[in-house]
Chain A
Amino acid sequence: QSVLTQPPSVSGAPGQRVTISCTGSSSNIGAGYDVHWYQQLPGTAPKLLISGNSNRPSGVPDRFSGSKSGTSASLAITGLQAEDEADYYCQSYDSSLKVVFGGGTKLTVL
């Protein structure tokens, strides 16, 4: 069981907006540590999608956005496209466990 909790799956139709939540606790997200998001396409290594809660690395479309509040964070994807179908992971720091990942969320584009 992961320290950061994500829904196992989400889905949406092309063009729609979906959000993926990442719930932590007072020893990680709630302690003020940054949340980062990764996208893992099938059969490939993960790729950094959002850093420092809400910053997009160069090359990441602005359809992807991140936010953080209290002990939780969210990844939003607008204008859903077929190519967005992937696994998404949040990541933060935990004062006792060091770097921690969420359990991952599988996004299905209907």
Chain B
Amino acid sequence: EVQLVQSGAEVKKPGESLKISCKGSGYSFTSYWIGWVRQMPGKGLEWMGIIYPGDSDTRYSPSFQGQVIISADKSISTAYLRWSSLKASDTAMYYCARHVGAVAATRVDYWGQGTLVTVSS
């Protein structure tokens, strides 16, 4: 059974750094793109970017390029999303998402349970 298990909720202050994780199991972690999707409170889904753990090829949405870093450690089947300096506007639920299909036809077939990040002074 494919599972994506994310790290727990975080409460941080503006300016702090943060790294959240997503551990994949039940499939070949290095053979699928895995990415992150943001959902701000009461808002829609926003695609942030993806990484191919097999070779660490990473693609970002222009909206998130330079704002976050996506990485993966294939030895432990885990993907990460990192911020170096959080802002209040980073408050949101973050979902990791396994992508399937060619990049131009890609869709998400499995989702993590979500990690709620709250940034407040």
> A interface vs B, CB < 8 Å?
2, 33-34, 36, 38, 40, 45-48, 51-52, 57, 87, 89, 91, 93, 96-104
Judging by beta carbons under 8 Å apart, are B104 and A45 in contact?
no
Given contacts A97-B62, A98-B59, A48 and B46 within 8 Å (CB-CB): no
Once the chains are docked, how many angstroms separate the CA of A104 from the CA of B114?
18
Once the chains are docked, how many angstroms separate the CA of A2 from the CA of B40?
14
Judging by beta carbons under 8 Å apart, are B44 and A91 in contact?
no
> B interface vs A, CB < 8 Å?
35, 37, 44-47, 49-50, 59-62, 95, 99, 101, 103-109, 111-114
Residues from chain A with a CB closer than 8 A to the CB of B112 are: 45
Once the chains are docked, how many angstroms separate the CA of A40 from the CA of B114?
13
Residues from chain B with a CB closer than 8 A to the CB of A2 are: 44
Judging by beta carbons under 8 Å apart, are B105 and A93 in contact?
yes
Judging by beta carbons under 8 Å apart, are B105 and A46 in contact?
no
Once the chains are docked, how many angstroms separate the CA of A36 from the CA of B104?
12
Max chain A Cβ within 10 angstroms of own Cβ: one of B44, B103, B112: B44
**What residue in chain A is nearest B33 (Cβ atoms)?**
A99
| CB pairs A–B below 8 angstroms (25 shown) | A33-B104, A33-B105, A34-B101, A34-B104, A38-B45, A45-B95, A45-B111, A45-B112, A46-B45, A46-B108, A47-B111, A51-B101, A51-B109, A52-B105, A89-B44, A89-B45, A91-B45, A91-B107, A98-B60, A99-B50, A99-B61, A99-B106, A101-B44, A101-B45, A101-B47
Residues from chain B with a CB closer than 8 A to the CB of A38 are: 45, 108
Once the chains are docked, how many angstroms separate the CA of A100 from the CA of B103?
12
* Given A36-B108, A52-B101, 20 new contacts (CB under 8 A): A2-B44, A33-B105, A38-B108, A45-B111, A45-B114, A46-B37, A46-B111, A51-B101, A57-B109, A89-B45, A91-B108, A93-B103, A93-B105, A97-B62, A98-B49, A98-B60, A98-B62, A99-B47, A99-B99, A101-B44
